[in-house]
Amino acid sequence: MRKHKGLIMLGLAAAVIVIMLVSTSVGPVKISIMDIIRMLLHKIGVLHSTAGWQPTEETIVFQVRLPRVLGAALVGAALSTAGVLFQGLLRNPMADPYIIGTASGASFGATLAMLLPLSVVFYGFGLVPIAAFLGALATVLIVYRLARFGGKAPIVSMLLAGFVVSSFLVAIVMLLLTMSDRLGLRLQQVFSFLMGGISVTYWQQIAVIAPLVIIGIIIAQLFAGHLNAFSVGEESASYLGINVEREKMLILGIGSLLTACAVSIGGLIGFVGLIMPHAMRLSLGPDHRLLLPASALAGASFLMLADLLARTLLSPAQIPVGVLTALIGAPFFIYLLRHARREYAF
Amino acid sequence: MLSEPANLLLQDAGFAYTGGFGMHHINLFVPDGEMTGLLGPNGSGKTTLLKLATGVLPLAEGDICVGGVSLRKISRREVAQKIAVVPQQFNIPFAYSVEEVVLLGRTPFIRGLFGEDKRGHQMVTDALEVTGMIEFRNRYFNELSGGERQKVVLAMAIAQEPTLLLLDEPTAHLDINHQVEILELLRKLNREQKMTVVAAMHDLNLSALYFDRLVLLDHGSIFADGTPDTVITKEIIRKVFFASVDVSQHPRSHVPQIVMLPEDTQPN
Amino acid sequence: MKNFWLIVIALAMFLTMAAGCSSNKTAASLTDDLGQTINIKGTPQRIVSLAPSDTEILFALGLGSKVVGTDSDSDYPTAATTLPHVGSGYPSFDIETIVNLKPDLVIGFGYTKPDYVSQLENLGIPVVILAPKDVSGVISDLTMVGKITGATSQAKTLATSIQNSLNTIEAKVKGVTDPRVLWEFDGTNPSNPWVAGPGSFSDSMITLVGGQDVGASGPASSWQMSTEDIIKADPQIIILDDYQFGVTVQSVEQRPGWSAITAVKDGAIYPITDSDLTDRPGPRVIDGFQILAQFIHPELFK
C-alpha cells in the first residue's frame, strides 16, 4: 500500500473537489452538479451565458450550502492536521486535538457565553463560537504554563496538566448547568454545540477562519521534517539541531489554533483528529512531509461527507456530525487496520 | 565537515541539577582524532558531561568549545552540524524504515519547506554501508534486533557528518558479538575517517581494549585521566567502584584487563 | 408439564383480578397527565405549585388562599409573588422546603423529575403532574384540578369561558386558508434555528389559530431546522419566541439566504414580547391565542 504514494495524494486532492461538488449539489432542493459548476464559472466571470437556473437556487448554493460545505472542509482539514501535530509531538498514538484541554476550554467558554444575555456578532460569529475559540486557546496556554518548569515543558507534565485542567473545567461546566435556570432552559443548545455540528451562517466566518486554517496548515508543513525528528524523542531531536522547547511551543500553538478554529465552526467533533492521521500513516507511512498534506485533504473529504450524511439521512432532522464521524470512521478504520496489520509496526 | 578541526574543550565547566548532583570546574581537552572513553560508576556524571558537551544541558559555569568555537555562540543547528550523538536508548513509536531513520541524521542540513540537501541521499547510503546495514534499508526499524538498531542509530549519527561523535554507553544491552561490532566500527571511523570519538562506557575491559585514553569520573569530578594502563589499576578501581579486582594483561594487546574476584576466591 | 400450565392460568387469573380491583376509582381518584393514578383523601388545604402555569390555574380557580408555596418563577398573579419559594422549575426543587410547608397536594409540571415525584409520594404527599400538549389539555387539567380540590364550579366556569373564546377564534378562521407559520424558539445558531415541532404546545396553538406549522415534519417537539429546509418550506409568517435572547426582526432579515422567504419579503416577522401569555399553558393562554391570531390572520382579528 505504501508504494503508490503519488497516486494516493492525487486521489485525495481529486476527492476533495468531487466531494465538494457533490455536497453542494445534494440537499432538500435538488440542484445538479452541472448547474453548480456553471454557477461558479458564471460567478467568477468565466461563463457569460444567461443563467439556466432559478435565482433561489443560486441563493441557496452561494448563501446557504457553499459556506457550510467549505466550513466542513476547513474543520476536517484543521482537525486532521492538529491530530498529526499532536501525535507526532507527543509521540503518542492516542493523542487527538483535544488532548491538552482544548475541548474542555471550548465547552467552558461556550457555556459561559450562553449564560450571558449579550448578543454579539463579530464577523458573523456569535458570542458562543467566539467564547469557545478563546476558551480553547486560553486553556492550552494555562496547561503549558503549568507544565513549564525550569525553561522546559516535559510532555508528561503537559499531559497531566491537560488532564487536570480539563477535569476542573468540566466540573465547573457541570456546576453551572446545575445552578442556572436560564442555562438549564437552553441546555439543548449547549449540548447541540458540544455534540458537534457545522454551523456556518455567514461568509464572513469563512473569510476569518479559512486564512487562519490555511496558514496554520502551511506553517505545520514547514515543521514536517522536524516533526519526523521529534518522533525519535525530544533529546534526540535536540541532538539533531532542533531547538526543542521553542519548536514544541510553536507546534503546540499551531495545533491549538487549528483546533480552536475548528471548534468555533463545528463544536466538538471527535474521531477525525484521532483517526485520520492513523489512516494516512497506514497508507502513506509516517513521514510527516507527506502525512501532513494527506491528512488535511483526507480530513476535509471525510468531514464534508459526514456532514452531507448528517443533514440528509434523516431529513429534515439533522444528526450531530460527531455521531456520524464515529459511525463511518470506525468500520473504515477497522478495514484499513486489517489490511495493513503487518505494516503497522506501532 | 570532516576537514574541520574536531577537538573538544571543556574549560572550567560547571552545572548542577536543581537540588542535587552538580559538576564543577571540569577541565578536559580531547584533541583531534582521539578516541576517548568516559568511565565511572552510575551517577558519576558521565551522561551529564555528554549532555553538557552537546548543549542539551545548559552550562552554568565555564565554557565548552568544539573545534575552537564556543557552543554558547552558535545555534543548535550549527552545533548539530559538528557534533552527533548516539544516545543510550532509542525508541520510535511509528513505523519508520531504516532508511527514513538514517535520513533524520540530515535534519541539520535541511532548511524550511524546500530546503535542498543534495548530498543527503549519498550520505545516507554511505552511512548504511559503513555500518553494514545497507541491506536493511527498507526494513522497519521497530522490527530489528537491539544490535541492529544500535547500528542504525550509529548510521544516523554518521549521516550527520559530524567532526565529533559522542556516544552514551553504546554497548549497553547488547550481545557480545554486537558489542564488539560497534566498537570495531567506532575504531574504524576514528582511524580511517579521523573522527574524534568520545564515548561513555560501563565495561572496563572493552574500554581498555578499544580506547586510547580513558577519563574516569567520580562524584562529578575527574578522578583519573590517561592511558588505560594508568587508569585501570587495582587501587583506583577499589577507590572509585568499591570493588576488589585483579588487574592482568590482555594476552595479545597487553592492555589492562580486570578480573573479577568473587568472595570465595579472595584470600582470607 | 401439567403443573406448568396450572401455574400460568392461576397467575393470569390473579393478575386480571388485581387489575380489575385497581380500576375501581374513588371519588377523588383520577389519572394525571403522565398516566399516574391519583389518590387523594379529602379536600387539599395546603397546596404547593411547582410551575408558573400551575400557580395561575390554582389562583384562577379561587384557591389562592390554599397555596402555601410556589416555584421561584411564578410571577402571576401578584398575590403569588409573596408566597414562599421552593426552588425553581429547572433543574431542581428543594424537597425539604416543600416538606416543611406541610402540603397535602403538590402540583407539578411535565419537566419535574420523576425522582422528586417518587420521593414526595414516599413521604405521603400526593403529586399531580400537569403536562398539557394543547389547549384542550389545559382545559381538562383545570377541570381535574377542580375535581381534586373541590373547586368544581369555578373550574366549570373557567373552562367554559376558555372554550367559548376558543370557539369564537375557530369559527372566525374556519374556511380561511391556513398560512405557513414558522415558530422559532432559539436563534443562537442562525443557520440552524430551533423551531416548534410536532407535539409541541406551540404547534397546537398554530393549528388552532388557523395556521400550518412548517416545523411539523420534524422529529421532536423542539428541533433544529436547517436554513435550506426553511427556505424550501417557505413560511409566510415567522414568529420569534426568542426575542428575550436578543434576536431581532432585523437580525432575522439579514440572515444569508433568508431574503428568499416570503415572510421576510412581506415583513411578516413577529416577535412575541410577552411570552408568558403564549408559552404558559395556563388560564391566560387565551390571551396568547388572541396575540397569535392577530399575527397569523391580521385581516380577521384587530
Q: How is residue B97 annotated by DSSP?
A: B
Spatial contact of A217 and A77, defined as CB atoms under 8 Å apart: yes
Show which of residues 83-102 on chain C sit within 8 Å of chain A, judged by CB atoms. Answer: 88-92
Q: Do domains C28-165 and C176-296 have the same CATH topology?
A: yes
Alpha carbon distance, N-terminus to C-terminus of chain C: 76
What is the reported pLDDT for C252?
92
Cβ–Cβ gap A188/C222 under 8 Å: yes
What is the reported pLDDT for A3?
62
pLDDT tens digit sequence for C167-189 = 998 898 888 889 999 999 988 78
Instruction: Note the ipTM here.
Output: 0.85
Query: Which residues are C129's β-sheet partners?
Result: C108
- Written as one string, the DSSP assignment of chain C is -HHHHHHHHHHHHHHHHHHHHHT---TT--B-TTS-B----S---SEEE-SHHHHHHHHHTT-GGGEEEE-TT---SGGGGGSPB-B-SSS-B-HHHHHHT--SEEEEETTS-HHHHHHHHHTT--EEEE--SSHHHHHHHHHHHHHHHT-HHHHHHHHHHHHHHHHHHHHHHTTSPPPEEEEEEE-SSTTS-EEE-TT-HHHHHHHHTT-EEGGGGSSSSEEE--HHHHHHH--SEEEES-GGGT--HHHHHTSTTGGGSHHHHHT-EEE-S-HHHHH--STTHHHHHHHHHHHH-TTT--
C86: cell is 421552593
Q: Does A50 touch chain C (CB under 8 A)?
A: no
Residue C29 pLDDT class (50, 70, 90 cuts): low
Among A100-104, A272-276, B19-23, C271-275, the minimum mean pLDDT is found in B19-23
Q: Which of these, A105, A258, A117, lies nearest to A170 by C-alpha position?
A: A105
Q: Where are the domains of chain C?
A: 28-165, 176-296
Cβ–Cβ gap A314/C73 under 8 Å: no
Cβ neighbourhood burial of A168 (10 Å; 0-12, 13-18, 19+): middle
Q: Does C50 touch chain A (CB under 8 A)?
A: no
Q: For the residues B13-36, what does the mean pLDDT come to?
A: 85
| A vs C contact (3+ beta-carbon pairs below 8 A) | yes
Spatial contact of B7 and B67, defined as CB atoms under 8 Å apart: yes
Cβ–Cβ gap B80/A345 under 8 Å: no
Bond into C77 cis (ω within 30): yes
As a whole number of angstroms, the distance between CA B138 and CA B156 comes to 15
pLDDT tens digit sequence for C234-262 = 999 999 988 777 788 998 998 988 998 99
Question: Which member of A92, A225, A286 has the closest CB to residue B107?
Answer: A225
Q: Does A128 touch chain C (CB under 8 A)?
A: yes
Q: Where are the domains of chain B?
A: 8-95+157-265
Tell me the pLDDT of chain C averaged across its residues: 85
Q: Does B19 touch chain A (CB under 8 A)?
A: no
List, in order of start, the domains of chain A with CATH numbers: 2-339 (1.10.3470.10)
Bond into C91 cis (ω within 30): yes
What is the reported pLDDT for C21?
47
Q: For the residues C284-293, what does the mean pLDDT come to?
A: 90
What is the reported pLDDT for C240?
93
Chain B nearest CA to A104, separation (Å): 27
What is the reported pLDDT for C89?
59
Detail the DSSP E strand segments found in chain A.
none
Chain A nearest CA to C227, separation (Å): 7
Query: Which residues are C212's β-sheet partners?
Result: C180
Cβ–Cβ gap A231/B78 under 8 Å: no
Nearest chain A alpha carbon to B167? A239
| C vs B contact (3+ beta-carbon pairs below 8 A) | no
User: Domain B8-95+157-265, what fold?
Assistant: Rossmann fold (3.40.50)
Chain B residues near residue A286 by CB distance under 8 angstroms: 94-96, 100
As a whole number of angstroms, the distance between CA C167 and CA A38 comes to 55
Chain A nearest CA to B80, separation (Å): 5
What is the reported pLDDT for B268?
61
- Is residue C115 predicted with pLDDT exceeding 90? no
What is the reported pLDDT for C33?
77
- Is residue C23 predicted with pLDDT exceeding 80? no
Amino acid at A151: G
Show which of residues 274-303 on chain A sit within 8 Å of chain C, judged by CB atoms. Answer: none
What is the reported pLDDT for A51?
67
- Report the percent of chain A where pLDDT is more than 70: 92
- Comparing C33 with B158, the larger pLDDT belongs to B158
Q: How is residue B212 annotated by DSSP?
A: S
Question: Which member of A29, A197, A314 has the closest CB to residue C228?
Answer: A29
- Is residue B69 predicted with pLDDT exceeding 90? no
**C235: Cβ contacts below 8 Å, ≥ 6 apart:** C179, C180, C181, C182, C214, C261, C262, C263
Cβ–Cβ gap C189/A63 under 8 Å: no
- Written as one string, the DSSP assignment of A219-245 is HHHHTHHHHHHHTT-HHHHHHTT--HH
Q: Does B88 touch chain A (CB under 8 A)?
A: no
Chain A nearest CA to B254, separation (Å): 37
Bond into B262 cis (ω within 30): no
For chain A, which residues score pLDDT lower than 50? Answer: 1, 345-346
Cell 549532555 sits on residue: B51
Query: Which residues are C107's β-sheet partners?
Result: C49, C128
Query: If you count them, how many residues does chain A have?
Result: 346
Number of Cβ pairs closer than 8 Å across A and B? 91
Cβ–Cβ gap A233/B91 under 8 Å: yes
Residue C6 CA neighbour count, 13 Å, CB half: 3
Cβ–Cβ gap A201/C189 under 8 Å: yes
Q: Does B160 touch chain A (CB under 8 A)?
A: yes
Q: For the residues C199-206, what does the mean pLDDT come to?
A: 91
CATH number attached to the domain at C176-296: 3.40.50.1980
Query: If you count them, how many residues does chain B have?
Result: 268
Helix (H/G/I), strand (E/B), else coil: A34: helix
Which class would CATH give C28-165?
alpha beta
Q: Which of these, B43, B11, B7, B34, lies nearest to B24 by C-alpha position?
A: B11
What is the reported pLDDT for C25?
44
Q: Does A178 touch chain C (CB under 8 A)?
A: yes
Chain B residues near residue A239 by CB distance under 8 angstroms: 54, 56, 80, 83-85, 87
C172: cell is 372566525
